[in-house]
Amino acid sequence: MILLEVTRGRSAGTRHESSAGVVRVGRAEDNDLILPDEGVSGEHARIVAGDECYVLRDLRSTNGTVVVRGDTRIVLDDGNGREVVLASNDVVELGAGADVVLLAVTVQGEVRPEDATRVLATRPIDDLGHAESTVEGDASRLRALYDVQKHIGAADGLHDVLTAICSGAFALVPGATHVTVVLREDDDGGRGTPSYVPIVTRVRGQTGPAAAPIPVTRSVFRKVVLERTAVLAADAPAEVGRSESMMGAQIRSVLGVPLWKGDEILGVLQMDNRESTGVFTSADLDVCAVLAHNASLAVANSRLLQRLRAAEERMAKENAFLKTREESRRVGKGEQEIVGSSSAMRALFAQLAKVVDTRVTVLIEGETGVGKELIAAAVHYRSRRRTQLFVTQNCAAMPENLLESELFGHRKGSFTGAHEDKKGLFEIADGGTLFLDECTEMPPALQSKLLRALQEGEIRPVGATQEKRVNVRIVAATNRSLAKEVSAGRFREDLYYRLNVFPIRVPSLRERREDIPALAEHFLKRFAAELGKPTSGFTQQAMELLQAYDWPGNVRELQNEVQRLVIQVDAGSFVTPELLSPHIRRVEGLLDRVRPTKGSLKETMDQVERWLLVESLNEHDNNKTAAAKALGITREGLHKKLRSFGL
């Protein structure tokens, strides 16, 4: 028995005395000891009756739990497993600061070794299966046992199973007046002091649960759990030592049978006879031993089914969330988001239309920031696979060992830290599309596994012995020349041909300067809406500067520049040249720096062009390839212009 007295808090003066296996403490209304204080969590703590002690557990409360023992303060944290054994005169602090609640603890009737349980008969778990032979001679009980097992087997859900077990116990044991099922909590977590909670109690002749909680016979319960045996205590007040819980309930006879699965005790089925006439017999123990076989299996299966249903419901919610996110992503990354009407982009759209509804692998090439993932998303969302997942992975973002596990999954124990099975992205994307960005960063060993997945349509998780078939479309992307990587020996040639079935090159922004106004306006509207700052648009001078800049970071750089401009510009104002970044404004005043002589338009333009050629060569130490790239022309085009100017 444990006594808890609230000495500080809104419920000060409240006393809670209990002999139950578990006492729940918290603010929620379903707790045994309800504390309405704001510093107390809804499910703050739990007091669990162990073999010879009471254990206080903190349920990861918001404001914590402390036990004060004399001059010592014991903080329940991860260092002590958030639990401590309680003793009389302990003070429990729930919460902190001004809202702290204090509980005075008194432990009554601690169990001493000399109070050993004295019983009439026992049946170890290993012998329970042999008890069936003693029932076979009793035709009525044998028939009743058959009917009970049939009803338990037909029950659906844990509640129905437990109800069928209680009804069956009454049918098989005529002397039983009360039946209680105590189960080990699923979230026990393997602690040294498991939690056993009375789940259901039935009284003979009454429909539904008992009107008041029926205390579990602690002395018998401990023997059942610790010694893994069925226990019969006849004339309990005399035979079991007149323990307080038995005397308080006026129990004359007790029968406790374990429910088990392998080496694990799932719970205890307890039957009480609270009438002065009639006690349980060894035959009652034997028939309950047979009942326990089927009951244990039914409880284990119903709990497993309960966990599976919860997992299925959780997966359904996760799947719904992913599909909702993917749907919003589809809207955001579909055709509406690909801004551009230049000839280069029209050619790109024509290529997409030809390949989206095929199964071939697509290789997307282009400089950093041109929007390769956007094109990959368009390949997926414009295809018949649009209802399945579009999964992305940057191959440069993970080390080799983690990338293999991320792509192909792993089995529990296959390497240090593999505490459970994990699905890889290939398996997650089954039926959909897997986008491998920066595929040239994939290590050689992993390239061979990817090649097999492409050739055979099979993957093997790390640590597994069997392959799994998957139906995944691969879209790869790189900002390097994959052919040059193959020539340099950094990329497998056979994998190159597997990936390069349908190459798509995304043009750089300087190759489609006519799209810059539309892109800039698109980003301006988006960020103005996100930041809640309406703008009037770009001035003509600002837009001309944006179009004149080379954008080495391509669309991503333009997007970041516009976002910065929206932050800087005053609400309702135009974006003016002085707000642009200095490196974009450097072409401003170009004619002043060139200072061309007066003449015709062609003569002036030739002087400006000659100056730009010379400046570019000087900036790149006369490296014509680099200068041509900076100018946005080919090396041959640069040579032609230099010859025309006599340079």
pLDDT computed for residue 215 by the predictor: 65
The mean-pLDDT minimum among 254-268, 352-366, 481-495, 611-625 falls in 611-625
Per DSSP, the three-state class of 526 is: helix
pLDDT category of residue 115 using cuts at 50, 70 and 90: very low
pLDDT at residue 223 is higher than 80: yes
Q: What is the pLDDT of residues 129-152, one digit of tens each?
A: 555 555 555 677 778 888 888 889
Tell me the average pLDDT across 594-603: 68
pTM for the model: 0.49
Q: What is the pLDDT of residues 146-159, one digit of tens each?
A: 888 888 988 888 88
Q: Where are the beta strands (DSSP E) in 309-367?
A: 362-365
Q: What is the pLDDT of residues 445-469, one digit of tens each?
A: 899 999 989 998 999 999 888 889 9
The mean-pLDDT minimum among 274-283, 492-501, 563-572 falls in 274-283
**Most confident among 199-203, 251-255, 363-367 (mean pLDDT):** 363-367
Tell me the average pLDDT across 338-352: 92
Tell me the average pLDDT across 411-417: 83
- φ, ψ for residue 50, nearest 5 deg: -95, -160
pLDDT at residue 409 is higher than 50: yes
Q: What is the pLDDT of residues 2-35, one digit of tens each?
A: 899 999 999 999 999 887 778 899 999 889 999 9
Q: What is the pLDDT of residues 164-207, one digit of tens each?
A: 999 999 999 888 989 999 888 765 444 445 678 888 889 988 88
Structure-token match 């030592």, residue found: 241
Q: What is the pLDDT of residues 534-550, one digit of tens each?
A: 999 999 889 988 988 88
pLDDT category of residue 315 using cuts at 50, 70 and 90: confident
Rounded-to-integer distance, Cα 152 and Cα 450, Å: 51
pLDDT computed for residue 235 by the predictor: 55
| Encoded tokens for 116 | 């050993």
What DSSP line would sit under 166-221, residue for residue? HHHHHHH-TT--EEEEEEE-GGGTT-SS--EEEEEEEETT--SS-SSPPPP-HHHH
The mean-pLDDT minimum among 236-240, 457-461, 508-512 falls in 236-240
Tell me the average pLDDT across 492-513: 93
Identity of the amino acid at 405: S
Residue 446 buriedness (CB in 10 A; 0-12 / 13-18 / 19+): middle
- Cα distances from 263 to residues 131, 174, 519, 588, in angstroms, run 20, 31, 67, 82
Tell me the average pLDDT across 248-264: 78
Mean pLDDT across the chain, nearest whole number? 84
Identity of the amino acid at 131: A
Rounded-to-integer distance, Cα 596 and Cα 598, Å: 6
Identity of the amino acid at 79: G
* Dihedral of alpha carbons 417, 418, 420, 425, sign: positive
Q: What is the pLDDT of residues 612-640, one digit of tens each?
A: 888 788 778 888 888 888 888 888 888 88
* pLDDT top residue among 191 and 360: 360
Structure-token match 């640590």, residue found: 463
* pLDDT top residue among 161 and 235: 161
pLDDT computed for residue 331 by the predictor: 52
Q: Partners of 393 in the beta sheet?
A: 436
Residue pair 232/173 in contact (Cβ under 8 Å)? The answer is no
pLDDT computed for residue 287 by the predictor: 86
**Most confident among 24-33, 198-207, 229-238, 328-337 (mean pLDDT):** 24-33
pLDDT computed for residue 519 by the predictor: 95
